[in-house]
Structure 1
Amino acid sequence: MHLVFFYCKIFAPDNIKHPILQTHVKTNNGIRTISPIGTWEDMIFSEEMKNAMKFGYKFEILWGYTFEHKKVFTNYVDFLYHNLRMKYDKSNPLNFIAKILLNSLYGRFGMNDQFPSIELIHKDLIKNFENKNLEKIIDRIDLGNQILVIYESENVFESYETHNVNVSIAAAITAYARIHMSQFKNNPNINLFYTDTDSIYTDSELDSKFLCDKTLGKLKLEYIAEEAIFLNPKVYCLKLESGKLIYKAKGLKGEVGLTFKDFEKLLKKKWINK
């Protein structure tokens, strides 16, 4: 069996409530991930294409890459999850180690393998080095008589180093995750308020087939909230039945306290000062 990454022209359905395909766009504040409607071109995993077609997406394939399909991580995931995460309490370091190894697996394969060069240069020689490599320098750290310089490597594609990087594996893993989460979007039985990588916020009763505390890929009930405000990805506030407040504000330091009223003001596009 083979799987393919296709570069396509993508046509989103006009009437979709929760778009399920993502792309990156450049903004004045950097690269942003969005789920657009309309038409655009992008690279997409063949299995995600099949899933998207169920929601009304259409594709014009322009070109692609073919990969052999194998289940290469079954034993790795089973061992870490069942033998460590499920065996040891969350307070045990082995539980945490297993969690980190599981969560970082796809990222390890998707990292940029064009590693920079690092050199320790005497301060008397740094000016000469900078004159020759100024545009390549990424960072420099003053260590007294020595300067630690990080700079872009030359001839990275001629290197004989092996970094064990495979972007197709990382891209396939994240695509399968989006496919899994798409079943909770545009679902007539689920009133969806907010969703993230592996979570949903809803006031609907979920089918028991989706729920299990100890099964990979299943959901578990984390909170029951009386009120909630969702403003942006990773910016929300929950007022629990117990009265406890849980909120997340991406980019905000933890010591800055926010209240439910603060989120209400932001919802109404009013400024808050802290």
Structure 2
Amino acid sequence: MARKPPYPKHVTALKSLKKERKPFIVADLETIQIPIDDPTDTKPIEDPTDTNQIVDQMDTIPIEDQIEYPSDTILKKKQTDTNPKEDPTEALTKMHVAYAAGFLVVKPGEDISAVPDFKTETYFSEEYNLLYPDFKDKSTQMLFNFIERLAVVANKTKIRTVYFHNLARFDGILLMKYLTIHGNKYSFKTIMRNLTLYEFSVYLGQKLVFSLRDSYFLLTASLDELGKTLCPELGSKGSIDHDKLRVEDLHPKKNELLDYMKQDIRLLGGVMLKAQDIYWRKFKVDFKSCLTLSSLALTIFRMRYYDPNSWPIHIPSRNEDTFIRRGYYGGHADVYKPIGINLYIYDANSLYPYVMKSFPMPGGVPVWHDNLEGKDISELFGFIEACVVCPTTMTRPFLPYRDKKTGTLLFPTGEFVGVYFSAELEYAQKLGYKIQPLRGYFFENNNTSPFDSFVEYLYESRQQAKKSGDKAMAYVYKLIMNSLYGRFGINPESTITEICERKRYDILLHSVKKLVYGEKLSDKYLMVNYKINTVHADNSEWNPPKISAVHLSAAITAYARIYMYKHISRHDCVYTDTDSAVLERPLPEDEISD
């Protein structure tokens, strides 16, 4: 039996890349909603050992909310999101069917605005009117030609990466279903975590044909906003009222619809090329090597700013991770008053980057102490399990508590036991909490942070870019600065999705301890979801992310809650959410920036 490779003890640095940037393909898919003929077409495969089957939601898998944190150093007025929400009942009665698809090859150093229009290859369902009377049949043929041509171009150019914007939401799920049903000559591999599609790779035998990726995970904004910020010279994103679009409208509106799609493809190519150029010039990193923004930020940090000799970042063992993760609570969201009039909404600017730079981070290798009775909290530094008593008279409780049954994060009064970062316990004690430390892991406190130079460079560079009016550079600096901390807190326990044949499914059915659900995609392929690295997994099955340091993410969020408490403890605080506060009275002008 092969031995598992040794688990790394600390995060390593990366060497700068010497290879040049690589070309890529950008693509788009346009869909129309039509009534579902038979809502029972796709049924989940039931696990005979599981009586609590999860309802199939293949057509409505949501993209994870992308949290974007603020950008300066003190409080500013918060801008609210006015985008309308989708009607959740739409997915129950309608389905998305593709009517157009297209792609464009993008090369580093190219001027997208000068690329001839014919370079964008397009496919349209109504071009097959003579072959098929049924719209869904025309859509299927259109997708077949699109996929086959994409495979030919990928093979000819040796370009394997194809970007769609918001692939995880609509395009990816639709293409994945199409390929598993109609692409019998292909095989597939997916990178899906917690029901979010990051990459869908298509193989012909053992050879990779192409990989579909979501550009949204690298540039977390709408295509319209990205175009205005990164390449306004390409013009604005078009507008189509998809809610009013009907199948009978497709043929007479062919030119309008294709022009709309081609502009989307051109914009995506432009913003991706601009971002690739910036990352390469500033950091010598090609984002094609990363699937997500947090991974890209981590790569830049390890390559340019991280010194493992002076500040090695420890990678926790299974026991360490399990204990410390109990003290990783994230942000504080609470409603104190359900109704308010003439309210003031504020954001704490660059809250997490500010904390990463300004506060001491837990360093070194943690040391376990199993009896802390009588110890002075102010003399401890690490993650402590403690018995806590919050005064029942406190109207704005400070310490969080996670309900073991529901997982709900509460901020209760009374007596409870939890794991907390020592700085948080010390602050709570000053507020009137009674703290009895029980046990925990101690870290080194050198009053330093490994993120000092990382945050300082990005923050100062962003300020300079804003002053000079360089929106593109300011945007990129903000993205990288705000995306690093969460990567260290990635949870080892996650849901894995596989697309496999029946034989593999049967193996998983009987070998995986935590099967979530299975679904038949076609006569050949099935999709199965199962959890890995659960608390019940054997040590031989434990395979966590190789770059994980939950003690850093937990400390950062704890410091952030301490910073915000002075605002949310005010009697006129109506609502708070992580880095924001809604108040009935304005803050002093010297505490506010634009």
Q: Same fold (TM over 0.5)?
A: yes
CA distance, structure 2, for counterparts of residue 86 and residue 196 of structure 1: 29
Find the residue that maps to 1:54 and give its secondary structure.
Answer: helix
**For residue 179 of structure 1, what is the aligned residue in structure 2?**
562
Contact 1:117–1:150 under 8 Å retained in 2: yes
Which residue does the alignment assign to 1:107?
486
What residue number does 1:74 align with? 452
Instruction: Please give the alpha-carbon distance, in whole angstroms, between the structure 2 residues aligned to 1:160 and 1:136.
Output: 15
Match of 2:419 among 28, 43, 61: 43
Displacement, 1:211?
2.3
TM-score of the superposition, structure 1-length normalised?
A: 0.63
CA distance in 2, matches of 1:88, 1:186: 33
Q: Which one of the candidate residues 416, 441, 450 is aligned to 1:65?
A: 441
For 1:168 and 1:191, how far apart are their aligned partners in 2? 33
The match for 2:500 is: 121
Whether contact under 8 Å (2:490, 2:545) holds in the other structure is no
Determine if the alignment matches structure 1 residue 191 to structure 2 residue 572. yes
2:548 equivalent in structure 1: 165
Task: Within 5 Å, give how 1:134-149 maps onto structure 2.
Answer: 135-140=513-518, 142=520, 144=522, 145-149=524-528
Higher gyration radius (CA):
2
Q: What is the alpha-carbon root mean square deviation over aligned residues? A: 3.2
Conserved? CA contact 2:492–2:545, under 8 Å? no
Structure 1 counterpart of 2:441, one-letter code: Y
**Which fold has the larger relative contact order, with Cα–Cα distance below 8 Å and residues 6 or more apart in sequence?**
2
User: Does the 8 Å CA contact 2:574/2:583 hold for their aligned counterparts?
Assistant: yes
1:101 Cα deviation from its structure 2 partner = 3.1
Q: Tell me the residue number matched to 1:210.
A: 591
Give the CA deviation at 1:171: 0.7
Percent identical among aligned pairs is 28
How far does residue 86 in structure 1 lie from its aligned partner after superposition?
5.7
Say which structure is richer in strand: 1
Shift of 1:45: 1.0
Partner secondary structure for residue 459 of structure 2: helix
1:5 and 2:383 aligned: yes
Q: Partners in 1 of 2:498 and 2:587 — Cα distance?
A: 56
Question: For each residue in 1:25-68, what CA deviation from the matched residue of structure 2 results, as whole angstroms up to 9, or x when unmatched?
Answer: 146xx321111001100011111112112211110111111112
> Which region of structure 1 is more displaced relative to structure 2, 174-183 or 77-86?
77-86
- Give deviations 1:167-219, integer Å, cap 9, x for gaps: 111110110000001112444xx632222211222233423453234xxxxxx
Change (3 A) 1:79 1:174: same
Give the alignment's TM-score, normalised by structure 2: 0.31
Give the 3 Å change call, closer, same or farther, for CA 61–83 of structure 1 in structure 2.
same
Contact 2:398-2:411 at 8 Å conserved across structures = yes
Pick closer, same or farther for the CA change 1:162–1:204 going to 2, 3 Å. Answer: closer
Are 2:394 and 1:16 aligned? yes
Aligned residues: 208
Query: Which residue identity lines up with residue 112 of structure 1 in the other structure?
Result: N
Q: Could you tell me which runs of 5 or more consecutive residues in structure 2 were left unpaired when the two chains were aligned.
A: 1-359, 363-380
- Using the TM superposition, give the Cα deviation of residue 139 of structure 1 relative to its aligned residue in structure 2, in angstroms: 4.6
Deviations 1:95-128 (CA, angstroms, capped at 9, x unpaired): 44443433332221111124566655323x2463
More helix by share: 2
Deviation at 1:11? 0.8
Q: Structure 1 CA distance, aligned partners of 2:556 and 2:437?
A: 22
> Residue 66 of structure 1 aligns to which amino acid in structure 2?
F
